[in-house]
Amino acid sequence: MPIVIDGWNFIRNRSSDIDDDEMESLDSARLLIAYLGRFQETHNDPVVLVFDSTNEFLDVEYKNSPSLTVIPARNADDYIKRYIDTTPERQRRNIRVVSSDNEIYHYAKSAYATPINCEEFWVKLRKGLCLDKPVRR
């Protein structure tokens, strides 16, 4: 079941361990990619991490794999909506969309995908990384 994550929304969530208020935005993105890479070592579901702003994100080097794909998109919300829309309706409930953006959350739900708010996924990510509590760097 693919997990599609709204990257900046996830990083800037109040539950975030890597909020870019405390470090450079690209450092936060790199750290999230590292977290998700470690998370994927013990999970089979592919992750699609979508970031707004292609120009800003070009400085982050990452080689996509079947388990973790990083997408620099002009508009992450539009990309996520297209991802849902291009998936056959009977398979959409298999897509998990991680965002606390109300518009994306409700769009995913109305399209029969499974929305997950960022706080919920931070708990799952910390557990998957064997972190007992948030880590601030």
Evaluate if residue 132 carries a pLDDT over 70. no
- pLDDT: is 105 or 1 the higher one? 105
Tokens of 64: 């996509």
Residue 131 pLDDT: 66
Query: What is the value of pTM for the model shown?
Result: 0.89
Residue 102 pLDDT: 96
pLDDT in tens, 112-126: 999 999 999 999 999
Residue 136 pLDDT: 46
Sign (positive or negative) of CA dihedral 90, 110, 122, 11: positive
Spell out the residues 6+ positions from residue 110 whose beta carbon is closer than 8 angstroms to its own.
none
**Dihedral (C-alpha) 82, 13, 64, 55: value to the nearest 10 degrees?**
80
- The answer to whether 108 touches 115, Cβ cutoff 8 Å, is yes
End-to-end Cα, the chain, rounded Å: 31
pLDDT in tens, 55-80: 555 567 788 899 999 998 889 999 99
Residue 135 pLDDT: 47
What's the distance, CA 15 to chain centroid? Answer: 14
Q: Exposed/middle/buried for 124, CB within 10 Å: 0-12, 13-18, 19+?
A: middle
Averaged pLDDT score across all residues of the chain = 89
What's the distance, CA 37 to chain centroid? Answer: 12
